[in-house]
Structures are given as C-alpha cells and as structure tokens.
Amino acid sequence: MALSTHLLLHIKPPPVPSLLKSHRSSSSILPRNFLIPSPCHRKPIKEIMMKPQAASVQSAVSEVMSLIQSSPPTWQSAILSNLLIFLLGSPILVSGLSVSGIAAAFLLGTLTWRAFGSSGFLLVATYFVIGTAVTKVRMAQKEAEGVAEKRKGRRGPGSVIGSSAAGCICAFLAIFGAGGIGYSRLWQLGFVASFCTKLSDTVSSEIGKAYGKTTYLVTTLKVVPRGTEGAVSVEGTFAGLLAAILLAFVGGLMGEITAPEAIICVIASQIANFGESIIGAALQDKEGFRWLNNDAVNVINISMGSILAVFMQQVLLQNLRV
C-alpha cells in the first residue's frame, strides 16, 4: 500500500492545454472543408432577394424575344414588335407624322409585320425615313414659295392611308392566303412595288420643288412654276428613279423580291408616276374632279404601280421561263 501510494505521487498528470493551444488543436478535429462562418462570408439579404427578380426579368426578356422572332409571324408578335419599335423610334415618328398619323402608321406596321415579317417592316421603315428626310429638304425655301407640305411636312392619317392602301391590300391577301401558296409571291411583289412607286413619287416631287431649275407640265411640256400639279423636272425625275432603285434593292436584299422582280418594281414605279403626273395635270383641281385630292391621287398612283408589277411578273417572267 505504501508502495502504490508512492508510485501515484510520482506520476505526472497530463499537461492541461492552454486556451490558445486548445483552439489551435481543435482545428485538426474538424473536417478540412469545414468553414466557420464569418460576417464577411455572409451574403446580404438584399442580394439573395434580387436573384429571383433578375431571373424573372431574364425569363421575361427571353419570352419577348422568342415571341418577336415567331416564324411565321403572329398578330401578337406583330403588335409587340411594333410597340417596341415605335417607342424607340418616337423622335423620328414625331418629326414626320402627326399624332393621328402615328396611330395610322402603327396599324400599317402591325399589318405589314403580320404579313411579311421583319423584312417587310424594314422596307416600310426605309420608305418612311427617306420620304421624311427629303420632305424636310429646303423647307424654308418651299414654304416661301408656297409649295411645302402642310404642318412642316408632318403627314396625317389621310396621307398614311393614301400612301399605303395598295400595300395594305397586298398584305391582307397574303395573310389570308388568297390564291394559295402560288400567289403569295405576287402579293409580296405588289407590296414592294407600291412602296417603290410612292417613294419615287415623293422624292421626285420634293427634290423637284427644292432643286428643279426648269419645270414642265407633262401634258403640254410648257414651263410652269415649281409645285404645279402634273409638273416634272429633270432633277426630280432622276432623284425619283434613284429612290425606286434603292428601295427595290432593299427589298431584294431582305428577300422580299428577286433581282428580276426588283427591275420590274422600278419600271412599274416610273410608269405609274408618269400616269400620276398626267392625272394631276389633266384632272386634279378641275371642275367635276374636286374630290381628286392628293390622297386620292396617291391611292391611284400606288395602285397602278402595284398592279403593273404583278401583271409584268406574270407576263414577262412567265414567258421568259417558257
């Protein structure tokens, strides 16, 4: 007993680790990939809440883009696409159209997108931009001479409808599949030709009023003041021809028409514009034809261009293929 007591007194107890050593040695007990959270590693609650919101916005944008790119176009994609484009292009629209004119243009754009997609819309947009730009050329001079367009060139709904009536009819025929698949290309050709005709007419008239040195009445070849109904000038006629070529090129570039059909559009537009000049000189503002205002003449003009293009495609191209 005395021996065991003596041995116990000489056995040294294990050292008590200090707090620092205990803290250091405890890390070896924890798994290597265990991290003690600290304030710097905690994500803010606001950031966590924003993630679902960002995901929902991204999903909405994705849905909108897929709707816009619908093929074939739908009424929903046409309305949405026009709404976005009209909002982005509002400064240009306001400079060229009245409020009611913008409303009419929105209906035209929606119909165009539904019938011919983004390529058809781009064609009409090109027509509008060029037509608006040439109308503003030398506006002060035109106003001083009394030949400028009303409201500083800002078109109203009558002008929009008068400039697009034939194109709208072609769009409706394409939407409802009139004549079947074989005729769909014809309605597309008539659509492009109508706007080539109108742009050529607008450019030739505005450039002629701005830069035409000598203006002739088309029915008698007498020299008349610039801005006279049915009058033509070399400068204006050449500018109108270039405008028709440019818009036909855009139509071909966008796949709306083929190269031979682009040539047909240019030829048809020039014939139609010559006919419109004859109507303006012989009938417009004459007794019994007071109803024949600029908007009515525009409808006749673009209708002639559209019908001529379709007729020439059927007669000339079909005979060449045979």
Q: Does 37 map to a domain? A: no
Q: pLDDT of 102-159, one tens digit each?
A: 999 999 999 999 999 999 999 999 999 999 999 999 998 998 888 888 777 788 888 8
Q: Does 43 map to a domain? A: no
Q: Does 184 map to a domain? A: yes
Domain that holds residue 164: 70-320
Q: Does 180 map to a domain? A: yes
- 260 is written with which tokens? 């031979």
Read off φ and ψ for residue 306, nearest 5 degrees. Answer: -65, -45
Q: pLDDT of 257-266, one tens digit each?
A: 999 999 999 9
Q: pLDDT of 282-300, one tens digit each?
A: 888 777 787 888 888 999 9
Is 80 exceeded by the pLDDT of residue 50? no
Is 50 exceeded by the pLDDT of residue 24? no
Q: Does 49 map to a domain? A: no
Q: Does 16 map to a domain? A: no
Q: Does 4 map to a domain? A: no
CA pair distance 177, 84, nearest whole angstrom:
28
Q: Does 41 map to a domain? A: no
Split into its structural domains, the chain has a count of 1
CA pair distance 194, 117, nearest whole angstrom:
17
DSSP string, 68-117: HT-SS--HHHHHHHHHHHHHHTHHHHHHHB-HHHHHHHHHHHHHHHHHHH
Neighbour-count burial of 270, counting CB atoms closer than 10 A to its CB (0-12 exposed, 13-18 middle, 19+ buried): buried
- The reported pTM is 0.79
